[in-house]
Amino acid sequence: MTGRSASQPSSCFSLFFLLACAFLPLHTCSKPAPYTLSPHQIQTFKRDGVLVVRGLLADKDLKDAVRAAKRIQLCRTLSQRLLYRIFPSYQSLQFQTWRRHKSLERVAFDSAASTICAQLMGLDGPVNSKNNSDMNSSPRPVRLLKDAVLGYRNGDKGCGWHVDDKIFWPTEDGNVGKSDAGINVWITLSPVSAAEGGGLAVAPGTHKAQFAKNAREAIAAKGPMTTCILESLRPDCHQKMEKLKQVYDLQPGDAIIHDRYVFHRADAFVDPIQRKRANTKHRISLRYVPADATFYKFGDNERAVQEKDMVTGDELSKGGEYYPQVWPDSLPEERGKKVGADKRFMSLTKVLGIMLQSKKE
């Protein structure tokens, strides 16, 4: 066989692939945007568990994401509006937004967010096993565990020093302090500054600190309803977090990328006069984990528990489209599949019940 004839199948395949990508839906042939972190950035993240990335979103992607966040705020349900009057934590808080807004799907799947997380978790090397015993040329994939869009404005209480509880991060805690524990990508869609407040405060190094373990245990002992009140549960731990507190001046599209176990909280608005004029500060939260992360079943809120028979101890990849793969590429059979929504934390009936009970008291 001549060299020319041997190359023909490859050329035909390449032509077919290009034509397929041209006519099939965009996400069929999608890979996230490339991004190369410097050794200094990787070392900073290992030490602090926090990294600021400027301009993660820009141009049309940023504008479209801002529009989507504003629509989410305007389209809150009656139960969400009533619950906000009782517990004014965030003016708007919505999960699974990428399934309803194409612009937010592009952020979660096609931006460089997952590429950066793969590097920071050390998943981009030739290892395809949690225990590093099985060497393989394929990297460990990254999956999207949860996404959320939040709106925070003057008067909102936000959430005090915390790490996400099992409702918002349903995986086991066996990898605290390890590089592949999982990463939260917090992207601001509004300008925020330390002088004004309204952004995100982080406590660098708390993903490995011993006192942070005490804080996690104090919160976990009381259940998810106490996730945001560390100041009441362990004032000593709260004070240590405050001493470590870091806030950043950020422009729309900038991101704070932090380890799953780094303590963080909403940063209250500072100036009592200026904060009255402040608009809602919109932000996106994306939670990425290795595909072989260990699932933790907390109640039956997760739709994957019913549809995929997920139980504690399962690899997250068993959940398929409920925790879709995003890196090194997305899978069309997961990304494009319609799935049922997770159960709402508060139905209208429950909210009305709380309101009636509070009036009686």
Q: In the structure encoding, which two tokens stand for residue 156, read together?
A: 């909102």
Q: In the structure encoding, which two tokens stand for residue 38, read together?
A: 């410097």
Global pTM reads 0.84
pLDDT tens-digit readout, 125-140: 765 455 555 555 689 9
- Nearest C-alpha neighbor of 121 from the set 141, 100, 95: 141
- Nearest C-alpha neighbor of 115 from the set 106, 124, 105, 107: 124
- Nearest C-alpha neighbor of 241 from the set 208, 196, 206: 206
Distance set, CA 7 to CA 13, 18, 104, 152 (Å): 10, 17, 41, 58
Cα 130 versus chain centre, distance: 21
More confident call, 80 vs 147: 147
241 φ, ψ to 5°? -60, -40
pLDDT tens-digit readout, 185-243: 999 999 999 999 999 999 999 999 999 999 999 999 988 788 999 999 999 999 999 99
Instruction: Provide the percentage of residues in the chain whose pLDDT is more than 90.
Output: 63
pLDDT tens-digit readout, 59-76: 999 999 999 999 987 776
- Nearest C-alpha neighbor of 190 from the set 110, 261, 251: 251
pLDDT of residue 263: 98
More confident call, 91 vs 119: 119
pLDDT-based confidence at residue 246 (cuts at 50, 70, 90): very high
Residue 42 and residue 53 in contact, taking contact as beta carbons nearer than 8 Å = no
Q: In the structure encoding, which two tokens stand for residue 361, read together?
A: 């008291």
Kindly tell me if the per-residue pLDDT of 43 is higher than 50: yes
What count of residues does the chain have? 361
Bond into 272 cis (ω within 30): no
Provide the β-strand partners of residue 258. 50, 184
Alpha carbons 6 and 238: distance in angstroms, whole number: 68
- Nearest C-alpha neighbor of 208 from the set 234, 183, 176, 166: 176
Pairing of β 281-290 and β 142-152: antiparallel
Q: In the structure encoding, which two tokens stand for residue 216, read together?
A: 């996690």
Kindly tell me if the per-residue pLDDT of 167 is higher than 90: no
pLDDT-based confidence at residue 116 (cuts at 50, 70, 90): very high
